Amino acid sequence: KVQKALLQSDVQSKNDRSPVTVADYGSQALVSYVLQQEFPSEFSLVAEEDSKDLRKDGAQELVERMTKLVNDSLASDGSYSVTLSTEDILKYIDSGKSEGGPEGRHWVLDPIDGTKGFLRGGQYAIALALLDRGKVVLGVLACPNLPLTSIRDQQSPNDEVGCLFFAEIGGGTYMQPFDGSSAVKVQVTAVENPEEASFFESYEALHSKHDLSSSIAEKLGIKAPAVRIDSQAKYGALSRGDGAIYMRLPREGYREKIWDHAAGCIVVTEAGGVVTDAAGNPLDFSRGKYLDLDTGIIVTNQKLMPLLFKAVRESLEEKASSL
């Protein structure tokens, strides 16, 4: 609803200049509210937003609009007969301040992953995961704009869009279309020859060095051009075999946050894929809000991973020696 009617007043700029909208805040409030209704005794949420900017002078119009949107969403869903006050909503947004860590259970939420894609009318995801003693045991990715057919199949723009991916440890990955049809079990592609593989990368250059990705693709002999899409929708698309490889090789100094990868990681691994950092280590979600990584993240199927890993290491070494 918000994406269709993006009003100028909906967009603020956080300190890091990434745009944030009433949809980010509203989404976080709704997910936080529902989780607390369903799991009242054991609730810890690590989430991206807080209400600081919403409590400032000049944010009133945005806050009123968000309050209306949250209550409209609750009313149209009908599961909870409640009208939340603005203060309630701000409180639910702020209940996402947990730091996570290696002990206990923590929900991890990115209320709108890919805000810039959202603002552009493109791909975004609502990403929720559950950590149990630092391990991801459950992941849900809602991708409202992802086509139900392969994202690489650009011929049919009128096809239905919108699906949910969900995965539980040891239980496989499923895709549930928003139209109410049955969930289907999905698997990563079985492609073994890198020349037949296709790859995804981040739309934002800050999140991935596109020149480095090109050099790696060249080493692997990949013929197809990269598909650049925002958000963890890439993990969802990869889990059902739309592409074979996802590389995220950010610029120096960029720290990956757990909510940008936790849900996507289990969605891909339960579909038979592999997710590691550029040194081949599994991602460690037990250290709090940030992933401490060697250089970046690489994702593919088990057959292609040794070849991809080798090409990534060679390209990184070449880059380092040319500096």
Question: Do 226 and 94 share a structural domain?
Answer: no
Using one digit for the tens of pLDDT, what is the confidence trace for 47-91?
A: 999 999 999 998 898 899 999 999 999 999 999 999 999 999 999
Catalytic residue (one of 10, 24, 94, 230): 24
Last residue of a domain, one of 154, 185, 216: 185
pLDDT attached to residue 139: 98
**CATH code, domain carrying 140:** 3.30.540.10
**CATH code, domain carrying 287:** 3.40.190.80
pLDDT attached to residue 156: 53
Question: Do 157 and 252 share a structural domain?
Answer: no
What is the number of structural domains in the chain? 2
pLDDT attached to residue 7: 56
Q: Is 242 annotated as a binding residue?
A: no
**Residue that is written with structure tokens 């949809």 in the block:** 23
Q: Is 48 annotated as a binding residue?
A: yes
Percent of the chain surpassing pLDDT 90: 72
Q: Is the pTM of this model over 0.85?
A: yes
Question: Do 203 and 118 share a structural domain?
Answer: no
Catalytic residue (one of 21, 115, 269, 276): 115
Question: Do 248 and 150 share a structural domain?
Answer: no
Last residue of a domain, one of 129, 159, 185: 185
Question: By the 8 A CB rule, do 43 and 36 touch?
Answer: yes
pLDDT attached to residue 42: 83
Question: Do 93 and 177 share a structural domain?
Answer: yes
Question: Do 219 and 125 share a structural domain?
Answer: no
pLDDT attached to residue 32: 98
Question: Do 202 and 180 share a structural domain?
Answer: no
Q: Is 266 annotated as a binding residue?
A: no
Residues of the chain with pLDDT under 70: 7-10, 14-19, 154-158, 205-209
Q: Is 260 annotated as a binding residue?
A: yes
Question: What domain range is 43 assigned to?
Answer: 2-185
End-to-end CA distance of the chain: give it in Å, rounded: 47
Residue 24 catalytic?
Answer: yes
